[in-house]
Structure 1
């Protein structure tokens, strides 16, 4: 087991233990204390407990939630993917200071794994069959209908615990008109054996190392992520990069230029030929800011910049902080120009 996880407590929806995947996960941690709960969404001592902020990292490492995914619908997206698939997990063992999931679910938010992943796979396959081939190339893909299968967690970390990710990669291997996609900040080399056959897009999240050391808590080092790009291409993945989040501070342009040069020096011609990028500028939140001040205040010196941020209501109805619209467009244009100078072969699929 990775340094990320030493599970000693499992919050358990009883129905999850009736599934083979649920039993697999429970058998993986036979000595863990089990606490039955009515719903993985409603665990007051985790999600509603402000006192857990001080135990943020311990809870991430030691606690697992096991539930059953209730809704199996596909949500239209149109940005990074055509559809958001039902998640096989929610929450994460890593602790990125800007993560949006705690804004919705609350406080430490460790990994929740869903036991009914076979049902998730079947729902995706049925939906893909109804969609058929992609009518025309678009910003998301040239040929396939793309499903984001990891919206609410990091599947590379989930794969340390069970075979859900392996199974989902296998589902897409058999879907000739569809493709899976997920972003990750963790290099799990077990995924190299999954044989995706070009039907899964792995989006490696990257940012300047100095910033990552502050805000990307418990993730793989940037050099390790960059070094893994060629390996995942050779293993049959389509590999893209997420420049996310872009955080503005004095000297950000020089730091990103350095990162682009590091990528260019590290990747093979085969990786460079298929490399595409997503660019996502930071979105922050006042409630998350308040929690971060209690466990990681240093991060907030980078994330909380009301002098250059403004409030904006999200699609989900939350009031978030984003860089001021008039300036953000200029900063985004500058970012794209830097990328074009240093990594001209890397096209931009999506920028926000």
Structure 2
């Protein structure tokens, strides 16, 4: 059963670096989309007509749907992480076809940030295999995983959608079945049932992002409906994935907790014992950004009514000097506690890795 991607991707233009035909994956992708106009560029992250296009909100969704960028990943580095993985792997892609209005990634290639696929996947995989080899056996169990070093491969995009374009994700899932001390993980908002045939052998942890239906319909633009994500979880567990959930971002609004109660009850009623036994989550409350708010006001102002709440948010400057906002400390403490308590009441089997 193939996933319906047509409403999300209909590629008309492929921007590519000059040496794209030197890579098997580059040739495969070009052959798959023979009718797309090809535009050669110096570098995948230096495209003047896409870059810095924050004012061009009218083109936002067009770029997401119709533009693909192909390049090779130059600097390979696994960055230490301490939350849902031990390492952030070098990306096999960047950008996304979906348009979640809270997403912090769209800062390059014009805020629309269409998908970039990195075609030097063999080099990325070789790096990851050597990196895992240097780590040796994981000495102790921790809240990330009892046994394996966990590598995040989807920090800058959604691997379920990337997998409809090429086999990068399939290749990585296969790679980790033979890395004895590692497993990979990614979060997703798109149900791609083609992944059920990848035989991950319990070495891939897929995290389905969930939030209440009402708020998801407002802010999760062009994603799979929440009920569809929940309905897929047992199938993914049966296919050999470790299935987790990700409650992120949690958005505070009137009656938010009642909506979460409904969601958690639906989750509990939908998943079977096998899925329940492996379930873990991370709970991350919304952080928003002044620049993103300004752009959203041009293309999706309705969402900003829920995301931009100056009366209950405080400014926090990021390490890069961005003006971010998140819920005020006293409110945040209370609402984090409320949601954690609700999870313990309704899905007590679900381990909470962290909540903030």
> If the TM-score is normalised by the length of the shorter chain, which range does it land in?
over 0.9
Question: 1:316 Cα shift?
Answer: 4.2
Tell me the distance in 2 between the aligned counterparts of 1:258 and 1:118. Answer: 44
> Where does residue 311 of structure 2 map in the other structure?
307
Tell me the distance in 2 between the aligned counterparts of 1:103 and 1:68. Answer: 19
Tell me the distance in 1 between the aligned counterparts of 2:319 and 2:109. Answer: 16
Tell me the distance in 2 between the aligned counterparts of 1:138 and 1:16. Answer: 41
Query: Gapped runs of 5+ residues in structure 2?
Result: none
Match of 2:56 among 40, 47, 52: 52
Tell me the distance in 2 between the aligned counterparts of 1:50 and 1:226. Answer: 34
> Where does residue 30 of structure 1 map in the other structure?
34
Alignment deviations for residues 323-346 of structure 1 (CA, whole Å, 9 cap, x no partner): 112321221111100111111111
State the secondary structure of the residue aligned to 2:294: helix
Matches within 5 A, 1:99-118: 99-103=103-107, 106-118=110-122
Match of 1:98 among 79, 95, 102: 102
The alignment's TM-score, normalised by the length of structure 2, stands at: 0.97
The answer as to whether partners of 1:103 and 1:287 remain within 8 angstroms in 2 is no
State the secondary structure of the residue aligned to 1:220: coil
Tell me the distance in 2 between the aligned counterparts of 1:104 and 1:147. Answer: 24
Question: 1:299 Cα shift?
Answer: 0.6
Question: 1:196 Cα shift?
Answer: 0.3
> Where does residue 148 of structure 1 map in the other structure?
152
> Where does residue 260 of structure 2 map in the other structure?
256
Matched, 1:189 2:198: no
Tell me the distance in 1 between the aligned counterparts of 2:213 and 2:188. Answer: 16
The answer as to whether partners of 1:103 and 1:285 remain within 8 angstroms in 2 is no
Alignment deviations for residues 182-233 of structure 1 (CA, whole Å, 9 cap, x no partner): 0000000000000000110000000001101010000001110000000000
- Count of residue pairs the alignment pairs up: 352
> Where does residue 284 of structure 1 map in the other structure?
288
State the secondary structure of the residue aligned to 1:159: helix
Runs in 1 of length 4+ with deviation above 4 angstroms? Answer: none
State the secondary structure of the residue aligned to 1:210: helix
Matches within 5 A, 1:139-288: 139-288=143-292
> Where does residue 336 of structure 1 map in the other structure?
340
Tell me the distance in 1 between the aligned counterparts of 2:260 and 2:89. Answer: 32
Question: 1:319 Cα shift?
Answer: 2.4
The answer as to whether partners of 2:45 and 2:108 remain within 8 angstroms in 1 is no
Report the CA distance shift for 1:117/1:317 in structure 2 as closer, same or farther (over 3 A).
farther
Matched, 1:15 2:43: no
State the secondary structure of the residue aligned to 2:49: helix
The alignment's TM-score, normalised by the length of structure 1, stands at: 0.98
State the secondary structure of the residue aligned to 2:138: coil
State the secondary structure of the residue aligned to 1:50: coil
Report the CA distance shift for 1:324/1:105 in structure 2 as closer, same or farther (over 3 A).
farther
> Where does residue 348 of structure 1 map in the other structure?
352
> Where does residue 67 of structure 2 map in the other structure?
63
State the secondary structure of the residue aligned to 1:172: helix
Tell me the distance in 2 between the aligned counterparts of 1:136 and 1:106. Answer: 43
* Superposition CA RMSD, Å: 1.1
Alignment deviations for residues 98-149 of structure 1 (CA, whole Å, 9 cap, x no partner): 0011135541110010000111111111000110121111111111000001
